[in-house]
Amino acid sequence: MDILTAADVIGARGFAESLLWDRCVIKHHTGESMDPDTGQLTPDYAILYGVPDGGPCRFKAVSAAIDRDVWEQGLTIIRAVLHPPVDSAGIEVEDKVWPNWRGPQAPSFRREHDAI
């Protein structure tokens, strides 16, 4: 069995990160705040990963796009898997992902998504 050197690990990590074509911001819900003028509650988030305009990640579509009309608006549904870098620790169920699509599978929209 071969033992990996530090250079091997660095090279493998560099290769893996070169496959992260997209960018994303991952946020964790921390509470809500109220607008003093309108009384409207808005969610507050702490950024876990991707400051300021997104860190490297990859979205891989795992199903074909489905087009639907909802309330007379076109909607495209894509089931995708998020691949963040190994060192993006702390991502939990219910965290939110804001994609900044760049890769070859980039759709023509930008939305918030559940991280897991």
Q: How many domains does the chain have?
A: 1
Return the closest-CA partner of residue 22 out of 60, 56, 61: 56
Domain assignment present for residue 1? The answer is no
Domain assignment present for residue 37? The answer is yes
Residue span of the structural domain in which 53 resides: 6-114
15-24, 32-41, 47-56, 79-88: range with highest mean pLDDT: 32-41
pLDDT band, residue 116 (cuts 50/70/90)? very low
pLDDT score of 111: 47
| Global pTM value | 0.64
Give pLDDT tens digits for 67-104. 777 777 777 777 778 888 887 878 888 888 887 755 44
pLDDT score of 114: 52
Q: Give the number of other Cβ atoms within 10 Å of residue 55's Cβ.
A: 21
